[in-house]
């Protein structure tokens, strides 16, 4: 951890991170699929000297429950397409696309991320996810999601193949010498010839090596498999927030894992999630948080809580208490193959006893929030960085675009005044901004180059 706090602006849905943020008076749901809406968000983040824009993604529509269609503003543009467009209306901010390693092929991803890195001049990043839901499997020829641990095994090989493809060309292999007629130096081209458990990929990639060498790699997830993959391969980790003690425990654990994988303790930048609600006064912020919560219909509350705890609460009154402990295994449904990260809501229900669905929903919503004035939120971010050991934060906004504007106008200036965030953009690639050196090409590494092969 250094004095400099990294910031990533997280776009979960066009309407914001809260499921019904699209209903906020400042939201513009009719414009959510326009470039103007996303340009506003990206340019606001760049105005606030955020290090990167971070696009979430999923390869499904959440129609498992009726409320997912009726009430949940869950549309998502394809991230590489959107980020390529945003690269032309921004100049310095990083551009991170979420990628499923379960339902993509490494060649497609390597080509897309290399293209974005060239188009943006070294600002590209990708966020590795293994996907979670059966809805995704059914869009790609399956009936159910593959096993959790196998997803991460595939994800590990996926990273190796993508990085190998990104290394297809040495930096100076593209000559483009019109006088001699030599476009490329064949000695600088390397075929991958990967033959693994999940992938067979010949290569080489049909685009020159990216400006960053390997674009910045984010990962998220709190399961054992996810933590091990992140410790071994990630440049930055997006994790859930929590108390200062929670953040410190996560940071210490992940850094120790990185060392066990032969990396330095600070090789991975750790960025907990925060969701600020900013007010002119603390009372204003609390009132805004209450108003956002009140936008959620009862049907969505019931189905959201049902999914969180693995118990079907449909047909119940949201204001009548239920006792989680009373449900035996026959009354529960298994979500362990979706995620094996800790479930604080279940732990709390077991410890505290009966609660209403509305109370459970309110608790899970409010525990994500930082509410207060600009200086108060800056205080909390400094505490999480200084005492919790966080390198920075993935900042979610319950509604967009107003949420990011308020953060940029009220929190960023306070962090800048304290010397904790940037006041200008250095002429650096995104990797360099995160404190990572450019990954050198094959010719400049200690390991021998793969013999070049141009023909089958």
Q: What pLDDT, on the 0 to 100 scale, is given for residue 73?
A: 80
Q: What pLDDT, on the 0 to 100 scale, is given for residue 187?
A: 95
| Same domain assignment for residues 317 and 389 | no
By CB atoms closer than 10 A (0-12, 13-18, 19+), residue 130 is: buried
User: Alpha-carbon distance 270 to 305, whole Å?
Assistant: 29
User: Alpha-carbon distance 248 to 346, whole Å?
Assistant: 22
Q: What pLDDT, on the 0 to 100 scale, is given for residue 449?
A: 41
166: nearest Cα among 119, 216, 101: 216
Whether the CB-CB separation of 79 and 38 falls below 8 Å is answered with no
420: nearest Cα among 449, 391, 445: 391
**Would residue 424 count as lying in a domain?**
yes
**Would residue 56 count as lying in a domain?**
yes
Name the pTM for this structure.
0.91
| Same domain assignment for residues 66 and 151 | yes
Main-chain dihedrals φ then ψ at residue 455, nearest 5 degrees: -130, 155
**Would residue 287 count as lying in a domain?**
no
Q: What pLDDT, on the 0 to 100 scale, is given for residue 455?
A: 34
Question: Rounded to an integer, what is the distance from CA 293 to the centroid of its chain?
Answer: 24
| Same domain assignment for residues 359 and 375 | no
Question: Rounded to an integer, what is the distance from CA 241 to the centroid of its chain?
Answer: 13
Main-chain dihedrals φ then ψ at residue 405, nearest 5 degrees: -60, -40
| Same domain assignment for residues 234 and 355 | no
| Same domain assignment for residues 135 and 23 | yes
> Of 343, 364, 385, which residue sits at a domain end?
364
| Same domain assignment for residues 360 and 374 | no
User: Alpha-carbon distance 72 to 62, whole Å?
Assistant: 8
Q: What pLDDT, on the 0 to 100 scale, is given for residue 352?
A: 86
Residue 117: give its domain's CATH number.
Answer: 3.20.20.30
pLDDT tens for each residue of 288-336: 999 999 999 999 999 999 988 888 888 899 999 998 888 866 555 555 4
Three-state DSSP at 413 gives: helix
Q: What pLDDT, on the 0 to 100 scale, is given for residue 452?
A: 37
Token couple for 267: 């090789």
Token couple for 65: 């429950």
Q: What are the residues whose beta carbons fall under 8 Å from the beta carbon of 237, sequence distance 6 or more? A: 218, 219, 220, 230, 254, 268, 269, 270, 271
The 10 Å Cβ neighbour count of residue 103 is 17
**Would residue 450 count as lying in a domain?**
no
| Same domain assignment for residues 183 and 43 | yes
User: Alpha-carbon distance 377 to 276, whole Å?
Assistant: 7
User: Alpha-carbon distance 69 to 113, whole Å?
Assistant: 32
User: Alpha-carbon distance 379 to 150, whole Å?
Assistant: 41
User: Alpha-carbon distance 97 to 310, whole Å?
Assistant: 30
pLDDT tens for each residue of 191-223: 999 999 999 999 999 999 999 999 999 998 778
By CB atoms closer than 10 A (0-12, 13-18, 19+), residue 234 is: buried
User: Alpha-carbon distance 428 to 434, whole Å?
Assistant: 10
**Would residue 185 count as lying in a domain?**
yes
| Same domain assignment for residues 155 and 98 | yes
**Would residue 1 count as lying in a domain?**
no
> Of 341, 364, 387, which residue sits at a domain end?
364
Q: What pLDDT, on the 0 to 100 scale, is given for residue 331?
A: 56
Q: What pLDDT, on the 0 to 100 scale, is given for residue 339?
A: 54
**Strand ranges inside 324-438, DSSP E:** 369-372, 392-396
Main-chain dihedrals φ then ψ at residue 354, nearest 5 degrees: -55, 145
Whether the CB-CB separation of 201 and 220 falls below 8 Å is answered with no
> Of 364, 382, 406, which residue sits at a domain end?
364
The 10 Å Cβ neighbour count of residue 454 is 9
Helices (H), 48-177: 66-70, 79-86, 106-120, 134-138, 148-166
Q: What pLDDT, on the 0 to 100 scale, is given for residue 381?
A: 98
Q: How many structural domains compose the chain?
A: 2
Q: What pLDDT, on the 0 to 100 scale, is given for residue 284?
A: 97
Q: What pLDDT, on the 0 to 100 scale, is given for residue 100?
A: 94
User: Alpha-carbon distance 165 to 209, whole Å?
Assistant: 9
Is-cis flag, bond preceding 96, omega within 30? no
User: Alpha-carbon distance 131 to 57, whole Å?
Assistant: 9
**Would residue 449 count as lying in a domain?**
no
Q: What pLDDT, on the 0 to 100 scale, is given for residue 448?
A: 41
Q: For the chain, how big is the Rg over CA atoms in Å?
A: 23
| Same domain assignment for residues 219 and 165 | yes
124-129 and 216-220 strand pairing: parallel
Establish how many alpha carbons lie within 13 A of residue 34's alpha carbon, considering only the half-sphere containing its beta carbon. 8
**Would residue 302 count as lying in a domain?**
yes
- Mean pLDDT in runs of 10 for the chain (456 residues)? 88 92 94 96 98 93 85 90 98 97 96 98 96 83 78 95 97 96 96 97 97 96 88 95 93 97 96 97 97 94 90 91 79 53 79 91 91 98 97 97 97 98 96 96 62 36
The whole domain housing 344 covers: 292-364
77: nearest Cα among 103, 57, 62: 57
| Same domain assignment for residues 143 and 259 | yes
| Same domain assignment for residues 177 and 60 | yes
Whether the CB-CB separation of 22 and 32 falls below 8 Å is answered with yes
């Amino acid at each position: 951890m250094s004095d400099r706090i990294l910031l990533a602006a997280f776009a979960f849905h066009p309407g914001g991170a809260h499921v019904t943020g699209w209903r906020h008076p400042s939201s513009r749901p009719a414009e959510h699929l326009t470039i103007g809406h996303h340009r506003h968000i990206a340019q606001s983040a760049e105005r606030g000297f955020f290090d990167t824009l971070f696009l979430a993604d999923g390869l499904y529509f959440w129609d498992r429950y009726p409320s997912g269609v009726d009430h949940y503003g869950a549309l998502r543009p394809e991230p590489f397409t959107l980020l390529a467009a945003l690269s032309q209306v921004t100049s310095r901010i990083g551009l991170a696309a979420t990628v499923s390693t379960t339902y993509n092929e490494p060649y497609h991803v390597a080509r897309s991320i290399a293209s974005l890195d060239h188009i943006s001049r070294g600002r590209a990043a990708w966020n590795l996810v293994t996907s979670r839901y059966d809805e995704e499997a059914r869009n790609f020829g399956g009936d159910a999601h593959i096993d959790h641990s196998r997803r991460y095994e595939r994800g590990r090989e996926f990273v190796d193949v993508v990085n190998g493809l990104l290394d297809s060309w040495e930096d100076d292999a593209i000559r483009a010498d019109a006088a001699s007629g030599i476009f490329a130096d064949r000695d600088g081209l390397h075929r991958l010839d990967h033959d693994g458990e999940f992938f067979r990929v010949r290569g080489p990639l049909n685009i020159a090596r990216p400006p960053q060498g390997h674009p910045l790699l984010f990962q998220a997830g709190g399961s054992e498999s996810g933590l091990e993959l992140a410790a071994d391969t990630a440049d930055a980790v997006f994790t859930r927030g929590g108390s200062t003690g929670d953040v410190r425990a996560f940071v210490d654990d992940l850094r120790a894992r990185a060392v066990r994988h032969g990396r330095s303790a600070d090789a991975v930048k750790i960025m907990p999630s925060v969701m600020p609600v900013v007010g002119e006064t603390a009372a204003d912020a609390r009132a805004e948080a209450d108003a956002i919560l009140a936008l959620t219909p009862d049907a969505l509350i019931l189905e959201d809580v049902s999914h969180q705890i693995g118990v079907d609460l449909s047909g119940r009154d949201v204001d009548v208490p239920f006792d989680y402990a009373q449900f035996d295994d026959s009354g529960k449904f298994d979500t362990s193959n979706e995620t094996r990260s800790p479930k604080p809501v279940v732990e709390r229900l077991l410890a505290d006893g009966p609660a209403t669905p509305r109370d459970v929903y309110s608790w899970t919503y409010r525990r994500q929030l930082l509410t207060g004035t600009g200086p108060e939120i800056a205080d909390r971010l400094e505490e999480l960085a200084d005492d919790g050991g966080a390198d920075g934060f993935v900042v979610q906004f319950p509604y967009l675009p107003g949420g990011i504007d308020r953060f940029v106008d009220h929190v960023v200036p306070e962090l800048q005044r304290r010397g904790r965030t940037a006041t200008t953009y250095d002429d650096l690639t995104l990797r360099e901004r995160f404190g990572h050196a450019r990954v050198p090409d094959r010719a400049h590494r200690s390991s021998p180059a793969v013999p070049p092969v141009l023909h089958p």
